[in-house]
């Protein structure tokens, strides 16, 4: 189990992580989502032991990753741009990682590079962005670490290569590797994850992929009998996703204290059809509408 407890981190005096708490069980695939600048990369690097927290702990099997450096061998961070490896060939990087990670599988690395059609003797600096991401994923999975933390693993990868990368990740998950994947590609995450970690204002909310809204948000298609109730539609418990003529697609807050659904029923609309809440709906509900990217 990889457990994050009461994690705090400030960068340049700006709080990035605040009271972050969650756990990733063995064999679990978790998706990490949030706006640009929300702190996703900082969180992943702190979980991997690359960045030290100001307060709180990251624990692997009950022991602090930062106090016991040997535990970092069980966690590997896969960056979205491996600038730190410029000057090395792919083969040189693999040799270096083999000295750090005791279970590094060189045969698996060679096979995966061949599968991706990537050269092992070329400098990483000369790889395209997509090639770098494919290489980074292959290198990270070759460590055979228990937890692999990936920052935008399909960023800049063409559709065919993207399918290969996702297949590789799912194969690793099927073998019991725990994955934490940061991505803005919500449809991909919805298909492949067990848990969603949503970052906002430095904190993390946990949602199951089977029911991302957790009963807290309802999605409806509504046709009003008369004029659309503008004040109600602009209320803080309602978000309009789409409006075509008299047909509205809405998200409603159903948490205690909100009477939005009951108020809608009282209007006696011509149509009030429930729709499944998707991950992108949760993203819009929780993170949309802000003027800043953080």
Query: In the structure, what pLDDT confidence band is assigned to residue 82 with cuts at 50, 70 and 90?
Result: confident
Strands laid side by side in the 29-33 sheet:
75-78, 147-151, 178-182, 29-33, 195-200, 203-208
Over range 259-273, report the average pLDDT: 93
| Angle between helices 106-116 and 159-174 in degrees, nearest 10 | 150
- Is pLDDT larger for residue 181 or for residue 156? 181
Query: What is the H or E stretch that residue 220 is in?
Result: strand 217-223
Domains annotated for the chain, with CATH where assigned, are 2-211 (3.40.50.300), 216-287 (3.30.70)
What digits encode the pLDDT tens for the residues 215-251?
789 999 999 988 899 999 999 999 999 999 889 999 9
Euclidean distance between the first and the last CA atom of the chain, given in angstroms as a whole number: 29
Flag whether pLDDT at 197 surpasses 80.
yes
**What's residue 160's pLDDT?**
86
If you search the block for the tokens 């503008």, which residue do you land on?
Answer: 230
Is residue 240 classed as helix, strand or coil in its secondary structure? strand
Over range 137-152, report the average pLDDT: 96
Over range 38-65, report the average pLDDT: 95
SS (H, E, C) 47-71: HCCCCCCCEEEEEECCEECCCCHHH
Mean pLDDT of the chain: 91
Distances (CA, A) of 8 to 13, 66, 153, 284: 12, 14, 26, 26
């Amino acid at each position: 189990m990889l457990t994050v407890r009461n994690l705090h981190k400030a960068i340049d005096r700006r709080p990035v992580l605040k009271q972050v708490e969650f756990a990733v069980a063995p064999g679990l695939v978790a998706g990490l989502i949030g706006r640009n600048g929300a702190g996703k990369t900082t969180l992943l690097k702190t979980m991997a032991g690359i960045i030290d927290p100001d307060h709180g702990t990251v624990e692997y099997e009950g022991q602090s990753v930062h106090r016991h450096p040997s535990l970092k061998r069980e966690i590997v961070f896969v960056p979205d741009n491996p600038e730190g490896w410029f000057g090395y060939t792919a083969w040189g990087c693999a040799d270096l990682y083999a000295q750090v990670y005791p279970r590094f599988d060189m045969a698996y690395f060679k096979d995966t590079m061949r599968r991706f059609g990537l050269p092992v003797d070329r400098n990483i600096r000369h790889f395209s962005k997509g090639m770098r991401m494919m290489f980074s994923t292959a290198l990270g999975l070759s460590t055979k670490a228990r937890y692999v933390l990936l920052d935008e693993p399909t960023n800049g990868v063409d559709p065919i290569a993207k399918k290969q990368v996702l297949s590789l990740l799912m194969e690793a998950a099927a073998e019991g590797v725990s994955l934490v994947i940061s991505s803005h590609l919500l449809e991909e995450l919805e298909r492949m994850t067990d848990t969603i970690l949503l970052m906002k204002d430095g904190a993390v909310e946990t949602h199951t992929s089977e029911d991302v809204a957790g009963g807290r948000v309802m999605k409806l298609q509504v046709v009003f009998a008369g004029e659309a109730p503008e004040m109600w539609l602009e209320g803080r418990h309602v978000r309009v996703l789409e409006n075509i003529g008299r047909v509205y697609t809405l998200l409603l807050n159903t948490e205690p204290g909100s009477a939005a659904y009951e108020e809608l029923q009282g209007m006696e609309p011509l149509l009030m059809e429930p729709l499944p809440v998707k991950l992108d709906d949760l993203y819009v509900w929780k993170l949309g509408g802000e003027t800043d990217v953080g």
